[in-house]
Structure 1
Amino acid sequence: MPAPLSHALSLLNSVFGLPAFRGAQEEIVEHVAGGGNCLVLMPTGGGKSLCYQLPSLLREGCGIVVSPLIALMRDQVAGLTEAGVKAAVLNSTLSWEEAAAVEQRLIAGDIDLLYVAPERLLTPRCLALLGRARIALFAIDEAHCVSQWGHDFRPEYIGLSAIAERFPNVPRIALTATADELTRQEIVDRLGLAHAPRFVASFDRPNIKYEIVAKQNAQTQLKAFISERHAGDAGIVYCLSRAKVEDTAAALNRAGIPALPYHAGLDANLRTRHQDRFINEDGIVMVATVAFGMGIDKPDVRFVAHLDLPKSIEAYYQETGRAGRDGKPSSAWMAYGLSDIVQQRRMIDESEGTEAFKRVSIGKLDALVGLAETAECRRSRLLQYFGETLKAARCGNCDNCQSPPQVRDGKVIAQKLLSCAYRTGQRFGAMHLIDVLVGRLTERVKQFGHDGLSVFGIGRELNERQWRSALRQLVAMGYLQSDNEAFGALKLTETARGVLKGETEISLREEPAQRPSRTRSRRGDLASSPSAAGDTALLGRLRAWRSEVARRHGVPAYVVLHDATIDGIASIRPRTPEQLRSIPGIGDKKLESYGHDLIALVNAEGN
């Protein structure tokens, strides 16, 4: 084994308490520690942080980590400090005196890893400071933020091209959990990584179950999902508007589900308190706009729910990826309806972006709608978007695999619906079209004389829910689109002509009458049962001890020890320091700090 790699494995074990690398980590660490640049795409929970933390410890100098996420900086620095690594931050949370002290430590060579916000790094003062320091490497985290095609573009990231220009001999590693080919290329171009290798790990998160349901009464559906599948679990619920965040959080609380709102309209101190409660307490549901979640390292988020459609598959993947960082079974659940497509298309059309930007945005939205409407394995469809092929035909851990929807010839249904939209003047929305099709004599139908049309009542073979599903699928397929000039109206596209003439074959998915509320994954239940993870009494003592230590140190409980480490202790029941040291997550520093207490808890009376 080469000496540098041997040293890397030694540090991996002594500092982080891990016995071996995962996936491409070893190759990435060796490449960057040797002075190479690279782009790393690795899913949330895949171990991205080690890819720059370990090379920073292996190389001389301080690793500079560029991140836009204050919460992530705080938690990672706390975790590194617990592991005995000299880590610090430079961001807006520091006073002038605190920032000056960090700068002095950097120049003195007393910091192994320094986390810096991009806008701070690009100031003349900070660039001059870095010019005087010994820099081991630059890690640009959340690198997709540099791309205007990415789902979370941040203008301040554009200036990071200065790193390659001012520090050409310092290795650069750009990292992100999600980026399509267009975004990857812009990362490479803007950060000067044209000739650097790309390390692309599998995007598959096998512990996450993907489920997308037709939106009927979204809040009622959400409450049932949480109560039946995730009672007492921590979770995140995403809504598009601030008002919907507040309303949903209130509804969950009324149902006995502890929930907190989070959006930019709240007082900053209140947002911080809510975030801290979510991180530090068990069983809190955070209802939030998409502003929440980036940089949250909480490993035991058991579900992420969407009550509104995200903008793209990248955004969906990034947001759902906040569930199950610890590898245990988790859920990605979304309620989705026609109004979501119409709303997102209107937002794109009315945006101030260029025509090219709008075309790309519509393409990304169409890909997500395709994922929502597919009758195939959702995981397979999701991975295909990122250029990856699922090894098996079906994953066994999505709603379509566990309750396969029926698919039928939809040509006649589509022709009836498109004819109805055309004959009513392409000026009406979904509900009116359905009223006409099923022959419902409403005041509005009578007002416009649509009860006298040939299409009135020709669709009585389907109920309202089935027509809604068919209509939504035709919009997803591009045969109908919203008309921005007539609010809520649906009009035919050019491609609808082939359907009306019978030249285009149409297949429509049928929703099963009732999906099972509880299903087990055929990919293996990764949850730790009491028998697998130790008796509940010992687990209770370990978690209570961890909570007290976390409270004293002012850090989240998972920064002290992850759940997987707690479960390992309860399962192995170590009686000696050597046995405790063998458990993943127990490095030298944690053994020194907590070894005596942990062994005493295992040896406590009653075991």
Structure 2
Amino acid sequence: MDIYASLKKFFGFSQFKGLQEDVIKSILDNNDTFVIMPTGGGKSLCYQLPALMKDGTAIVISPLIALMKNQVDALRGISETHGIAHVLNSSLNKSEVTQVMSDIANGVTKLLYVAPESLIKEEYVEFLKGQKISFVAIDEAHCISEWGHDFRPEYRNLKHIIKQIDNVPVIGLTATATEKVQEDILKTLGITGAQTFKASFNRPNLFYEVRPKTKEVEKDIIRFVRQRTGKSGIIYCLSRKKVEEIAQVLQVNGVKAVPYHAGLDAKTRAKHQDMFLMEDCDVVVATIAFGMGIDKPDVRYVIHHDIPKSLESYYQETGRAGRDDGEGYCLAFYAYKDIEKLEKFMASKPVAEQEIGHALLQEVVGYAETSMSRRKYLLHYFGEEFDEVNGEGADMDDNTRNPKKKHEAQEEVVKLLSIVRDTKEKYKSKEIVNTLIGKENAMLNSHKTHLQPFFGCGKERDGAYWMALLRQVLVVNLIRKEIEQYGVIKLTEEGKDFIANPQSFMMTEDHVYSQEDTGDIITNTKSSGGAADEKLVKMLKDLRKKVAVQQEVPPFAVFQDPSLDDMALKYPITMEELSKVHGVGEGKARKFGRQFLTLIEKYVADNDITRPDDLIVKSTGVNSGLKLYIIQNTDRKLPLIDIASSKGLEMAELIKEMEAIVYSGTKLNINYAIEDLVDEDQQEEIYEYFMEAESDKIQDAMDEFDGDYDDEELRLMRIKFISEVAN
């Protein structure tokens, strides 16, 4: 039977997609075969069809239980025989394992899905040795490579186990692989002579955007999702805690969202996944535990609340959008702080792994901060050239839609390339930049680079400028990163030629993602993005001063500045609206709010202002349980350290929570805790300071007392003060 007839018979399709036909022919001809095909490109058909056509059983090794289950169900759906496909993994009981073995022995089973951990088992290897095996396919083969983003040590041993079972063709398949990873996979599987098929990684229907991540990120996400009501989307977060928070914020704001992470029990996870597939909810908020086995063609957007650890992960996760070739919007929020957090997580790993991790992270930073075509940057990372003028999807990213300024950088490029040459092509990006700006470190000093005449020849520009230029020079192939010594920069022939005959080089200016000051107090209700009404802010400040004088308290004890700014943005005119303002709770609203509401209402009427209803994003009450717990247990005079540890908080985090409570107008009695720390005279001294102070900033208090008290003592005293004076 020819392959078109089989395709029609088993799957009902009349034509192949992309490279499928060539791959299938290679497998039917018993060649070792290596397939690199992006998510959504139809990888699984490449081994399913030949397995159904050939004699014997094909073994498919896959790391993902959910994916195996999906595929087995799908295959059983196209065949009358239930045993056509089986899973062999730790979830089966004894009698199920016996059934699987008898189906294989009787030639019923065409595809056997196994996790690499199961294949290592002696009894399975022994059994499979005696069976007719058609070929072995390794799905998600990047898990083999320590350079991949999902390294699994069990995969390293596969070559030997496959050889034990039978001398059959080996098929490796992956949806993402840089050259380094490809080389590693072929070597580890022992199939260096394999026929390799690489599909284009370009997904022209996906739109890529990176936005700076500010304190307003949740509000940005809510707005984005609300504009797409009824459309399916996935939001990725790095931590389980953040998944829960964002899912709740969305639910409170009228979005049908469910959380998904490994901390939920299997039943809940399956239920949430089905709700998403069956469209009972619009959004799944998830850690990367989600999506591997998801074949939902009409996901319309993928949002990264946190930037991922590697561009492979980013490519795979964004690749879940628009698989039906319809619209797909990929939005990532980026702050360098998140990268630093990821680097801290890595500190506990072995040095070799740390190096790889850092190298992968720097690629992510480059992608997020670049001002060139993001598609070109991403495809270059996967070793694919892209024509940013005529290529398919050329205008589908934020940088090409809103081009950044460019300037002539011919001299700078020559300087950069000369440094690569003069330091003997032995440095990675960071050392090259340090050499240019004249910043010494152990690595440079050991090679005596700091004594060279060219050291510091680019110090009229900062490190960020040179790093941005280096990335742009890399993408146009004047330099390359050495695969074997990961990350070492080498000159290409074109680069050498550029030094000899310099040409024009227009450099695009990178985005600057500066860290904005997040202020001293972090409350749990987020303030709004946008600009406050300056005129109203001034009027509110005058009123605050007046109220402070009447109540004999400092102005900040009435409302803090961020609260006034938020009032001038949201124009609250009822008590309920006022209690939704940044840093204002019900207690505070009742105590001071009446005069402020009267002022705002009059101002809105006089100036004919339309109030922004949609800006009042409700806070979740995620923390209301925690708040209640803190209030109850401080009332019971429980030691603060016990309250913190019972909720898994650091002391500093508990103090932040307590600050949020008193700043929004609820009293907390922590005198019992302060008495252990600060004696009565000292308490009086600090109390008087806050009474007279212009602001309640802890730094100002530290400066005033010149190190007599530490941060914790002053913060606790400030909580006592606000609680007694302002609430």
The alignment's TM-score, normalised by the length of structure 2, stands at: 0.56
Aligned to 2:412: none
Task: Kindly state the Cα deviation for residue 511 of structure 1 after the two structures are TM-superposed.
Answer: 8.1
CA distance in 2, matches of 1:510, 1:106: 58
Structure 1 segments (4+ residues) deviating >4 Å: 407-410, 477-480, 493-500, 502-507
Q: Which of 282, 285, 288 is residue 286 of structure 2 equivalent to? A: 288
- 1:18 to 2:13 alignment: yes
Aligned to 1:536: none
SS at 1:49 equivalent: helix
Q: Which amino acid aligns with 1:72?
A: L
Aligned to 1:371: 367
CA contact (8 A) 2:56 2:110 kept: yes
Aligned to 1:75: 70
Distance 1:502 1:98, change over 3 A: closer
Q: Which amino acid aligns with 2:359?
A: G
CA distance in 2, matches of 1:233, 1:283: 9
Q: Which of 159, 168, 171 is residue 170 of structure 1 equivalent to? A: 168
Aligned to 1:489: none
CA distance in 1, matches of 2:511, 2:180: 34
Q: Which amino acid aligns with 2:294?
A: I
Task: Kindly state the Cα deviation for residue 106 of structure 1 after the two structures are TM-superposed.
Answer: 0.7
Distance 1:92 1:501, change over 3 A: same
Aligned to 1:221: 220
Distance 1:409 1:248, change over 3 A: farther
Task: Kindly state the Cα deviation for residue 56 of structure 1 after the two structures are TM-superposed.
Answer: 0.7
Q: Which of 50, 57, 64 is residue 55 of structure 1 equivalent to? A: 50
CA distance in 2, matches of 1:252, 1:500: 47
CA distance in 1, matches of 2:268, 2:241: 16
Instruction: Please list the CA deviations of residues 463-485 of structure 1 after superposition, one character each: whole Å capped at 9, or x if unmatched.
Output: xxxxxxxxxxx9xx8899xxxxx
Task: Kindly state the Cα deviation for residue 406 of structure 1 after the two structures are TM-superposed.
Answer: 3.4
CA contact (8 A) 1:42 1:200 kept: yes
CA distance in 2, matches of 1:47, 1:203: 13
CA distance in 1, matches of 2:458, 2:259: 45
- 1:509 to 2:505 alignment: no
Q: Which amino acid aligns with 2:72?
A: V
CA distance in 2, matches of 1:246, 1:114: 36
CA contact (8 A) 2:133 2:166 kept: no
Q: Which amino acid aligns with 2:509?
A: L
Q: Which amino acid aligns with 1:124?
A: E
Task: Kindly state the Cα deviation for residue 294 of structure 1 after the two structures are TM-superposed.
Answer: 1.4
Q: Which of 375, 384, 391 is residue 380 of structure 2 equivalent to? A: 384
Q: Which amino acid aligns with 1:311?
A: K
CA distance in 2, matches of 1:109, 1:168: 17
RMSD: 2.8
CA contact (8 A) 1:62 1:106 kept: yes
Aligned to 1:157: 155
Distance 1:145 1:99, change over 3 A: same
Task: Kindly state the Cα deviation for residue 326 of structure 1 after the two structures are TM-superposed.
Answer: 2.2
CA contact (8 A) 2:406 2:509 kept: yes
Aligned to 1:404: 403
Q: Which amino acid aligns with 1:299?
A: P
CA contact (8 A) 1:164 1:191 kept: no
Q: Which amino acid aligns with 1:390?
A: F
SS at 1:99 equivalent: helix
Aligned to 1:144: 142
CA distance in 1, matches of 2:386, 2:286: 32
CA distance in 1, matches of 2:12, 2:176: 27
- Segments of structure 1 that go 5 or more residues without pairing to the other structure are 1-5, 411-473, 481-492, 513-607
Q: Which amino acid aligns with 2:59?
A: I
SS at 1:509 equivalent: coil
Task: Kindly state the Cα deviation for residue 502 of structure 1 after the two structures are TM-superposed.
Answer: 4.7
Task: Kindly state the Cα deviation for residue 42 of structure 1 after the two structures are TM-superposed.
Answer: 0.1
SS at 2:31 equivalent: coil
Instruction: Please list the CA deviations of residues 489-509 of structure 1 after superposition, one character each: whole Å capped at 9, or x if unmatched.
Output: xxxx99995554459866633
Instruction: Please list the CA deviations of residues 117-164 of structure 1 after superposition, one character each: whole Å capped at 9, or x if unmatched.
Output: 111122111112211221111110011111111101112222212244
* Pairs within 5 Å for 1:37-436: 37-84=32-79, 86-216=84-214, 217-228=216-227, 230-348=228-346, 350-354=347-351, 356-393=352-389, 395-407=394-406
CA distance in 2, matches of 1:352, 1:511: 31
CA distance in 2, matches of 1:151, 1:54: 29
Aligned to 1:425: none
Task: Kindly state the Cα deviation for residue 510 of structure 1 after the two structures are TM-superposed.
Answer: 5.3
Aligned to 2:572: none
The alignment's TM-score, normalised by the length of structure 1, stands at: 0.66
CA distance in 1, matches of 2:17, 2:343: 41
CA distance in 1, matches of 2:237, 2:141: 25
CA distance in 1, matches of 2:125, 2:404: 57
Distance 1:280 1:163, change over 3 A: farther
CA distance in 1, matches of 2:95, 2:462: 73
Task: Kindly state the Cα deviation for residue 232 of structure 1 after the two structures are TM-superposed.
Answer: 1.4
CA contact (8 A) 1:213 1:335 kept: yes
SS at 1:175 equivalent: strand
Q: Which amino acid aligns with 1:388?
A: E
SS at 1:80 equivalent: helix
Distance 1:166 1:380, change over 3 A: same
Task: Kindly state the Cα deviation for residue 79 of structure 1 after the two structures are TM-superposed.
Answer: 1.5
CA distance in 2, matches of 1:502, 1:147: 38
CA distance in 1, matches of 2:457, 2:241: 42
Q: Which amino acid aligns with 2:54?
A: R
Task: Kindly state the Cα deviation for residue 242 of structure 1 after the two structures are TM-superposed.
Answer: 1.4
Task: Kindly state the Cα deviation for residue 324 of structure 1 after the two structures are TM-superposed.
Answer: 2.0
Q: Percent identity?
A: 43
CA distance in 1, matches of 2:457, 2:356: 25
CA distance in 1, matches of 2:462, 2:308: 33
CA distance in 1, matches of 2:142, 2:160: 17
Instruction: Please list the CA deviations of residues 363-385 of structure 1 after superposition, one character each: whole Å capped at 9, or x if unmatched.
Output: 22111111111111111110000
Task: Kindly state the Cα deviation for residue 37 of structure 1 after the two structures are TM-superposed.
Answer: 0.6
Distance 1:36 1:502, change over 3 A: closer
CA distance in 2, matches of 1:75, 1:360: 33
Bigger RCO of structures 1 and 2 (CA < 8 A, at least 6 apart): 1
- Segments of structure 2 that go 5 or more residues without pairing to the other structure are 410-429, 438-449, 467-507, 514-727
CA contact (8 A) 2:129 2:166 kept: no
CA contact (8 A) 1:409 1:508 kept: no
Task: Kindly state the Cα deviation for residue 22 of structure 1 after the two structures are TM-superposed.
Answer: 2.1
Q: Which amino acid aligns with 2:5?
A: S
Q: Which amino acid aligns with 1:135?
A: I
Q: Which amino acid aligns with 1:406?
A: K
Q: Which amino acid aligns with 2:510?
A: R
CA distance in 2, matches of 1:87, 1:502: 62
Instruction: Please list the CA deviations of residues 498-531 of structure 1 after superposition, one character each: whole Å capped at 9, or x if unmatched.
Output: 554459866633589xxxxxxxxxxxxxxxxxxx
Q: Which amino acid aligns with 1:361?
A: G
Task: Kindly state the Cα deviation for residue 209 of structure 1 after the two structures are TM-superposed.
Answer: 1.2
CA distance in 2, matches of 1:503, 1:319: 34
Instruction: Please list the CA deviations of residues 63-115 of structure 1 after superposition, one character each: whole Å capped at 9, or x if unmatched.
Output: 11111111111111121222227222222333322221111101100011121
Distance 1:283 1:275, change over 3 A: closer
* Pairs within 5 Å for 1:383-532: 383-393=379-389, 395-407=394-406, 500-502=459-461, 508-509=509-510
SS at 2:234 equivalent: strand
Give aligned pairs, total: 429
CA distance in 2, matches of 1:317, 1:362: 18
SS at 1:291 equivalent: coil
Task: Kindly state the Cα deviation for residue 183 of structure 1 after the two structures are TM-superposed.
Answer: 1.2
CA distance in 2, matches of 1:391, 1:60: 45
CA contact (8 A) 1:41 1:179 kept: yes
